[in-house]
Amino acid sequence: MTRRELLGRLLRTPFAGAGGLVLAFLWAGCTSTENRFGGVVTAGRLTDILGQIRRTREPVYVLSARAYVNPFPVSALPAARDVAAYSKVLSGYEAGVVALYQKCVHLGCRVPWCKTSQWFECPCHGSKYNRVGEKKGGPAPRGLDRFAVRIEGGNLSIDTRTIVVGPPIGTDTTRQEADGPHCVSIG
Ligand code: FES
């Protein structure tokens, strides 16, 4: 129901008047998905985000989007353009960024980043994904799901209204191997 429809209904009830209006705005505020999971989430200035990732060697985690932001390398773009599963997120890659849903595509655990291997490694059953969420090992049936992004005025926002299904097993656009020891031994 839109805010306008809600207001119209409330104004036709015994609650009509100031009380009804207060209720309407409170309800609309509670159900708004703006800047939270299920809506479009503002993540911050893209240059700041990429700078932080370079300094820390970790993706930026955006809590309200339940997503990790990582760079998408220019060198991987030609291969990415051939992956049908990437058609809805390619514009973000072309801007140099990927937003990955935190949820493991095996059974749904949150997948943490492993700083030593520079991969995502799931502690539940050992699925492993490279920096851009492509599957590298374990029981996961595909790469990590992801979100489309927008960059406007230098600001990055993550569109969590639609979860874009991750790429099939065998997709390896970056050729990124583990940088060092794994955090999870299984898988
Ligand atoms: Fe991640 Fe099973 S839930 S490997």
Report if residue 172 sits inside a domain.
Answer: no
Which has the closest alpha carbon to 138: 185, 177, 99? Answer: 185
> Rg (Cα) of the chain, in Å, rounded?
20
Statement to judge: residues 49 and 2 lie in one domain? no
The atom number, within ligand 1, closest to the CA of 187 reads 4
Q: What is the dihedral of CA 76, 70, 64, 88, to 10 degrees?
A: -10
Map tokens 């898988």 to a residue: 187
pTM of the predicted protein model = 0.84
Tens of pLDDT, residue by residue over 140-184, are 999 999 999 999 999 999 999 999 999 999 999 999 999 999 999
As a whole number of angstroms, the distance between CA 95 and CA 74 comes to 9
Model pLDDT, residue 12: 57
Are 97 and 76 in contact by the 8 Å Cβ rule? The answer is no
Domain that holds residue 25: 1-32
Whole-number Å distance, alpha carbon 106 to ligand 1 midpoint, is 5
Ligand 1 contact via 104 beta carbon (within 6 Å): yes
Q: What pLDDT band is residue 51 in, cutting at 50, 70 and 90? A: very high
Statement to judge: residues 14 and 94 lie in one domain? no
Statement to judge: residues 80 and 113 lie in one domain? yes
Report if residue 149 sits inside a domain.
Answer: yes
**Residue % of the chain over a pLDDT of 70:** 82
Whole-number Å distance, alpha carbon 110 to ligand 1 midpoint, is 8
Are 140 and 106 in contact by the 8 Å Cβ rule? The answer is yes
Report if residue 77 sits inside a domain.
Answer: yes
Model pLDDT, residue 186: 74
Statement to judge: residues 13 and 85 lie in one domain? no
**Residue % of the chain over a pLDDT of 90:** 80
Query: How many structural domains is the chain composed of?
Result: 2
Statement to judge: residues 76 and 132 lie in one domain? yes
Statement to judge: residues 49 and 99 lie in one domain? yes
Tens of pLDDT, residue by residue over 91-138, are 999 999 999 999 999 999 999 999 999 999 999 999 999 999 999 999
